Amino acid sequence: MPILHEKLSTIILAAGIGKRMKSKTPKVLHRILGKPIIAFVLNLARDIGSAQTVLVVSNTEHDAYDALGIKMTYAIQAKPLGSGDAARKGLEKAVFDNVLILCGDVPLLRKETVARLIDHHVKKDADLTILTCLVEDPFGYGRIIRGTGDCVKEIIEQSDATSQQQKIREINAGVYFGKKELLVGALKQITKDNEQGEYYLTDAIRNIAAAQKKVCGYMIRNENEIIGVNSKEQLDQVREIVKHEWFAELMAQGVSIEDPTTTNIDLSVVIGNFVHIRPYTLIEGNTTIADGQTIGPFVWIKDGKKNALSDA
């Protein structure tokens, strides 16, 4: 069900190089229990009722994204000129007045959170609303600077923050909702006069607030929802969160997973009733486990076929 009465364009920023991943695979195409990171975000855009999804990517080779079977519009950011430039490229392709901007490397954001953010925007009669999060350790994140009436005045990046501002625990989660025209106008004003030589989307927020527009922040406290996958360590962190939730869902349906720590089951796997999964079991791909089966131990099933766990 749509969460807005008006049509919505969702822009997903996914053109980042992902240097810290140290991989030939684009960052957002790394998999979590068989599902690419970007698929989580594309599914979120679908689930919130987006009439259009714009995916900002770094090149014109769309095969890997086309293979996901999700309808989308592509915007190309040929050179890595920063989040502000990527947002501009996405806005050029957006066809509706209401625009939601998401990050392609943040797979755990929930539909309910986005729905509440948009509802907050409407109730506050805001011009722009950003998602914020109260975190234990804000190091490395942009800090939220609140102004009068609890509105957001600006976002200060870690490198530019004073020692007092660095103590602020409310951080920018990189999710924005507002009108296309407002964002386009603000992004025209930003420059790349900074240490990185890039256009920052956060600079546009400062411009919007300075123009006496109402910028609201909707704050959440679940840090897991805003984890961005920028390294193999963060990929593992997110995988463990997804795995825990997935296994809890399976066990609530009656699946017995004897040792979750040595078991992996892709999100695409369909498991019947009264199934018992023994330790050291991998089940991947397009696989269905029939009712009443016991699988394992020491079994690897991929696309419905049993494989050898080793050559021994």
Q: Please tell me the predicted confidence (pLDDT) of residue 45.
A: 97
Instruction: Specify the pLDDT at position 21.
Output: 87
How far apart CA 17 and CA 263 sit, in angstroms, is 32
- Nearest alpha carbon to residue 257 among 224, 305, 289, 303: 289
Tell the burial category of 219 from Cβ atoms under 10 Å away from its Cβ (0-12, 13-18, 19+): middle
Measured CA distances, 254 to 243, 250, 266, 271, 272 (Å): 17, 7, 17, 10, 9
Which fold does the domain 8-226 belong to in CATH?
Spore Coat Polysaccharide Biosynthesis Protein SpsA; Chain A (3.90.550)
pTM > 0.75: yes or no: yes
Query: What does the pLDDT read at residue 1?
Result: 45
Q: Which of 267, 271, 268, 240 is nearest to 256 (CA)?
A: 271
- What are the tokens at 102? 């998401």
- Where are the chain's structural domains? 8-226, 253-307
pLDDT of residue 24: 86
Rounded distance between C-alpha atoms, residue 88 and residue 68, angstroms = 25
The mean pLDDT values, 10 residues at a time, for the chain of 312 residues are: 76 87 90 97 96 92 87 93 94 97 97 96 96 95 88 90 94 97 95 80 92 95 95 96 98 97 98 96 97 96 81 41
> Any bridge partners for residue 265, and if so which?
283
In CATH terms, is domain 253-307 a member of 2.160.10.10?
yes
What's residue 308's pLDDT? 67
Q: What is the C-alpha separation between 201 and 62, in angstroms, rounded? A: 25
